[in-house]
Amino acid sequence: MLLLFFFFLFLFLFLFFAFVSFLQLTTFFFLLFFVMFFVYLLFFLFIICFFLFAFFLLCMFSLFFLLFCFYFVLCFFFFV
């Protein structure tokens, strides 16, 4: 009877600590998932903003280049 008591006591303690460590592990992976999710989200937002800024700069420089070519052609035809 005493052996049965210790068996169920150790079984209960083992299951209890296994459940607690499982909760700790899942909490850790849950937090890790959220941290990595926000890191990847910020990374992709940074990449999207960088490409939008690069596209904006490209459009501005191409616009300035077209205006420069337009004025160069106008000046060329005006002086010639």
The per-residue b/e assignment along 14-39, b for 16 or more CB within 10 angstroms, e otherwise, is: eeeeeeeeeeeeeeeeeeeeeeeeee
Q: Is residue 6 part of a domain?
A: no
Q: Is residue 70 part of a domain?
A: yes
Write out the residue range of the structural domain in which residue 70 sits: 26-80
What are the pLDDT digits (tens) for 56-74? Answer: 888 888 878 888 787 777 7
Amino acid at 48: I
What are the pLDDT digits (tens) for 2-59? Answer: 788 888 888 888 888 888 888 887 887 888 888 888 888 888 888 888 888 888 888 8
Q: How far apart are the first and last CA of the chain?
A: 116
pLDDT at site 80: 62
Q: Is residue 18 part of a domain?
A: no
Q: Is residue 14 part of a domain?
A: no
For the chain, how many structural domains are there in total? 1
